[in-house]
C-alpha cells in the first residue's frame, strides 16, 4: 500500500517533473548575499527522468506526500540521489550534545563538480502581508509602505518570515560550527562543509496591491525577483473572480510550479466555473475556517494543437476575521 495520498502518480508525473525543474529555476525568497545557494544543474538527467520516470514514481510511492514540506524535501532527496554530480551522504542527520538535541542537518551531499561537501538546508514557505499598513489603509489610494519581515505571516498564522529567516541563518545553517556538529560530520569522514540554504516560495500581497491602490515594498532582505501571490477575504471573492472564466482550488502537494494539463483535471485539482469555485471556497472556509488557495486557469494550445490549461497567479482566500487573527499573532 502506498503511503502517498496522491493517487495515479503515473498521470501526474509531468507535474512532478515541472516541480523538480521549479526547485532549481525559481528565485530565492531571500537575497543571495543573505543566503548562499548554488543551484543544482538539471539539464540532461532530468530529461532522462521524464522519458523513463519509473524510478521517480517508485520513489514517491514510498513517501507520505500529504504535507507540502514533505513533498518538497522528497523532491530534493531524489535529485541529490540521482543527479550525476551529486552524492547524497546523509539526510535529517540529528546533532546531539549528550541528551540534548541541538538540531539536524537537512542534507549532507558530495558535490563532485566542485570537489566539496555541502550542508544544505531547504524550505518552501508562503507568507501573507499583514502589518500595520492594513490598519492604516482604510481604502485610501497611492499609499506606500516599506514592510518588515515581521509583517509577513503564514496562512495558518503560526509562522512568520522573520522567525524563519533567523532560524535558518543563525541556527540551522550554523550546525557545522558547533562542536557537536563537527563531531557528527567527522563520523561521516567530513572535516569541512560549505553551508547553503534554499528558501523558496511566495509572498502574498493584499488584492489592493495589484490594483495599484496599495503600494508595498518587500523587506530589504527579500529578493526583488521573488514570486508574488495575492490574498483577500472571502467577502471580496465574487468581484475578484470576474477576471477569469475558469478556476481551480490548488491542493497539496502541488503548490510549487504552475499546474499545466490538457485534460479536465489538474493533478488533485478540478477545473471549475466561477459559480462552482465560489460555492466550494465558501463551503470550505465556513466549515473549516481556514484559508483556501485558488488560481485562475488560462487556456492555450499545446504542441499538438489541443486545448490545455495553465494556472495563473495563486491567491489565498481567507476567512473574514483572518486579518485580525494574523495581526494579533504579530503581537
Hey, where are the domains in the chain? 9-330
User: Which grid cell sits at 199?
Assistant: 528558501
pTM of the model: 0.91
- 140 pLDDT above the threshold of 90: no
Buried b (16+ CB within 10 A) or exposed e, 71-100: bbbbbbbbbbebbeebebbbbebebeeeee
Average pLDDT, the chain: 87
- 187 pLDDT above the threshold of 90: yes
pLDDT score of 265: 47
57-61, 130-134, 175-179, 323-327: lowest mean pLDDT where? 130-134
By the 10 Å C-beta count (0-12 exposed, 13-18 middle, 19+ buried), 217 is classed as exposed
pLDDT score of 4: 46
First CA to last CA distance, the chain: 45
Compute, in degrees rounded to 10, the torsion defined by CA atoms 239, 264, 255, 81.
-170
- 329 pLDDT above the threshold of 90: no
Cell 499538438, located at residue: 304
Cα separations (Å) of 299 from 237, 311, 314? 22, 9, 16
Q: What is the pLDDT of residues 75-118, one digit of tens each?
A: 999 999 998 888 999 999 999 988 899 999 999 999 988 899 99
Q: What is the pLDDT of residues 221-278, one digit of tens each?
A: 999 999 999 999 999 999 999 999 999 999 899 999 998 775 544 555 678 899 999 9
30-39, 116-125, 303-312: lowest mean pLDDT where? 30-39
114-118, 124-128, 310-314, 324-328: lowest mean pLDDT where? 324-328
Q: Count Cβ atoms below 10 Å from residue 267 Cβ, excluding itself.
A: 22
Determine the average pLDDT of the residues in 19-32.
91
Cα–Cα dist 134/129, whole Å: 9
Q: Count Cβ atoms below 10 Å from residue 104 Cβ, excluding itself.
A: 17
Q: What is the pLDDT of residues 210-235, one digit of tens each?
A: 988 888 999 999 999 999 999 999 99
User: Could you give the 3-state DSSP secondary structure of residue 64?
Assistant: coil
φ, ψ dihedrals at 223, nearest 5°: -65, 125
Amino acid at each position: 500500500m502506498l503511503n502517498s495520498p496522491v493517487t495515479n502518480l503515473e498521470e501526474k508525473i509531468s507535474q512532478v517533473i515541472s516541480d523538480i525543474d521549479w526547485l532549481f529555476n525559481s528565485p530565492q525568497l531571500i537575497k543571495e548575499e543573505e543566503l548562499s545557494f548554488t543551484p543544482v544543474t538539471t539539464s540532461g538527467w532530468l530529461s532522462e527522468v521524464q522519458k523513463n520516470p519509473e524510478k521517480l514514481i517508485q520513489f514517491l510511492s514510498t513517501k507520505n506526500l500529504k504535507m507540502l514540506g514533505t513533498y518538497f524535501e522528497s523532491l530534493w532527496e531524489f535529485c541529490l540521489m540521482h543527479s550525476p554530480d551529486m552524492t547524497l551522504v546523509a539526510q535529517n542527520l540529528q546533532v546531539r550534545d549528550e541528551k540534548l538535541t541541538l538540531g539536524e542537518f537537512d542534507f549532507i551531499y558530495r558535490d563532485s563538480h566542485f570537489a566539496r561537501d555541502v550542508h544544505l538546508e531547504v524550505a518552501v514557505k508562503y507568507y501573507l502581508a499583514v502589518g500595520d499598513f492594513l490598519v492604516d489603509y482604510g481604502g485610501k489610494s497611492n499609499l506606500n509602505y516599506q514592510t518588515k519581515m515581521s509583517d509577513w505571516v503564514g496562512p495558518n498564522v503560526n509562522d512568520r518570515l522573520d522567525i524563519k529567516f533567523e532560524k535558518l541563518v543563525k541556527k540551522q545553517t550554523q550546525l557545522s560550527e558547533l562542536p557537536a556538529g563537527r563531531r557528527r560530520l567527522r563520523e561521516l569522514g567530513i572535516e569541512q562543509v560549505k553551508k547553503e540554504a534554499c528558501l523558496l516560495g511566495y509572498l502574498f500581497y493584499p488584492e489592493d496591491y495589484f490594483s495599484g491602490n496599495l503600494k508595498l515594498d518587500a523587506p530589504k532582505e527579500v529578493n526583488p525577483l521573488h514570486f508574488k501571490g495575492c490574498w483577500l477575504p472571502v467577502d471580496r471573492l465574487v468581484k475578484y473572480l470576474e477576471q477569469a472564466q475558469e478556476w481551480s482550488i490548488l491542493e497539496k502537494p502541488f503548490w510549487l510550479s504552475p499546474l499545466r494539463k490538457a485534460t479536465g483535471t489538474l493533478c488533485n485539482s478540478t477545473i471549475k466555473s466561477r459559480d462552482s469555485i465560489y460555492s466550494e471556497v465558501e463551503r470550505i472556509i465556513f466549515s473549516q475556517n481556514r484559508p483556501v488557495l485558488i488560481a485562475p486557469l488560462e487556456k492555450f494550445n499545446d504542441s499538438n494543437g489541443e486545448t490545455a490549461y495553465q494556472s495563473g497567479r495563486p491567491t489565498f482566500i481567507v476567512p473574514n476575521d483572518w486579518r485580525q487573527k494574523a495581526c494579533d499573532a504579530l503581537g
